[in-house]
Structure 1
Amino acid sequence: MLNYVIRRLVGAIPVLVGVIAVVFILTTIVPGDPARIMMGQRGNPETIAKIRHEMGLDKPLPIQFLDFMKNALTLNLGKSYRNNMTVVEAITTRIPVTFKLAFFAMVIAILVGVPLGIISAVKQYSWIDYGAMFFAILGISAPVFWVALLAVVLFCVILGWIPGTGTGNGELIYYVLPSIVLGLRPAALIARLTRSSMLEIVRQDYIRTARAKGLSERVVIMRHALRNALIPVVTVIGIEVASLLSGVVITEQIFSLPGIGRLSVEALTNRDFPVIRGVVLFMAFIFVLANLIVDLSYPFFDPRIKYD
């Protein structure tokens, strides 16, 4: 197991280096001068040139890339162009909001999606099955921004059940609505995948053998079928968790949540290159870590899987 983890971590290094290179190239070719944006269109050329020198923007591109690579490997990603905060501080201050939102959204998605998929598979071609799959198709197809705007208008403006957008004084009530909106699509995806995986498993010979032994249907489904059907579901859950933790831009924007997603929008708007690069590297690291954790969880669901 340890050797496998080490190999995966070593294999992730080229991926992260490639991400660093792509991020540097994209942020370099993006139109707009950060120094001029900071000073405005009527800024003093001498002051703009001084700021560009302090930022290192007047160096040749290969030198800038090497400096960026060295700083990225040491987590010294520089300071934000907008304020005096370091990139690491800017990201870490936004992580708690995104973490809470992602956690609540995935709890809702798992608690809704997995049972819905199981019931739909057990009651195949019944009205429950059709209703569950209609919900799944609707959840996957409905645009997040449209659902979020409708939810704000209905529950915040018309009904007044939710105080409003933002985080207030940190009360959890402000996370209820965005968590439900954000968890809708993962719940629909998990429900569909659980149903299809369960339908494949319940037709296996060992399931028929378990039923022939006289085991109750509940034991057959929950102990024998579900555990083997969860491997593809766990894979999707890991990917969705990584997506949510790396920042959900639309949801955080609509609900005015100061998370990673909103930070990335602010950085893009202001050409804050250090923050943009830091956010993308953070997203890449989260995806690598999530994939590793998902792979390590497979033996728990299927003991036949071994990592030597």
Structure 2
Amino acid sequence: MIMYFSLNYQWFPVAGRYDLLYEIDHVTGFALIDALLSDGPYRKEALQSVIEHMILPCLVLALSPTMQVIRMMRTSVTEVMSQNYIRAARIRGLSNYEIVIEHVLRNAIPPIIPKLGVQLSSMITLAIMTESIFNWPGVGRWLLDALSNQDTRLFKRVYWLWRLSF
């Protein structure tokens, strides 16, 4: 995505959290909130820069898990749609909207929920790679630094911070 959107078309920046032209005070540590809270004369441009820098990392982090959930949901819905109680609902004269809301989604979503928990571990792995590629500071970067320095104390702190967030 960096090569295609940043280097070939120059639509998005390559790395970092915002352009270095803008001076943003680090109040909260979140670039978007810090850009909103800044009092500089170029506040709108700094906010736009932060948003432009966020688009590619957010796409990279969200694309794979979203596609997996869509694929699982599609499989589950096609399985439920072939059940006899869906045919019975159509015979009773229910509309497609009522069938989907009352019968299909209610029975298609529960098998997917346990699989979402497994995706959390893959999201941490994706966060480590994404934060190192796009040069973003975060939990993934901390974990990568702790592993490369063999710092078990930092690794345990980051792990417990992650566990407390859920």
Same fold (TM over 0.5): yes
Cα deviation for residue 280 of structure 1 reads 2.7
> Letter of the aligned partner of 2:13 in structure 1?
P
Kept after mapping to 1: 8 A contact 2:124/2:140? no
Structure 1 residue aligned with 2:17: 167
Structure 2 residue aligned with 1:153: 3
CA distance in 1, matches of 2:151, 2:117: 30
Any unmatched runs of 5+ in structure 1? 1-150, 290-308
Any unmatched runs of 5+ in structure 2? 19-23, 25-30, 32-49
Answering whether residue 43 of structure 2 is matched by residue 193 of structure 1, we say no
Alpha-carbon displacement from aligned partner over 1:146-174 (angstroms, at most 9, x marks no partner): xxxxx011111121111231211632222
Greater shift in the superposed pair: 193-202 or 275-284: 275-284
Structure 1 residue aligned with 2:148: 269
- 1:36-185 aligned within 5 A: 151-168=1-18, 170=31, 171-185=50-64
**Aligned pairs, number:** 137
The CA RMSD over aligned residues, in Å, is 2.4
Structure 2 residue aligned with 1:106: none
**Relative CO higher for 1 or 2, CA cutoff 8 Å, sep ≥ 6?**
1
Secondary structure at the residue paired with 1:172? helix
Kept after mapping to 1: 8 A contact 2:5/2:12? yes
Alpha-carbon displacement from aligned partner over 1:40-84 (angstroms, at most 9, x marks no partner): xxxxxxxxxxxxxxxxxxxxxxxxxxxxxxxxxxxxxxxxxxxxx
CA distance in 2, matches of 1:157, 1:234: 38
CA distance in 2, matches of 1:190, 1:206: 25
CA distance in 2, matches of 1:248, 1:265: 10
Moved over 6 A (4+): none
Cα deviation for residue 256 of structure 1 reads 0.9
> Letter of the aligned partner of 1:203 in structure 2?
S
Identify the match of residue 234 of structure 1 among 107, 113, 138. 113
Structure 1 residue aligned with 2:90: 211
Higher helix proportion (structure 1 or 2): 1
Give the percent of matched residue pairs that are identical in Structure 1 and Structure 2.
32
Higher Rg: 1
Kept after mapping to 1: 8 A contact 2:61/2:126? no
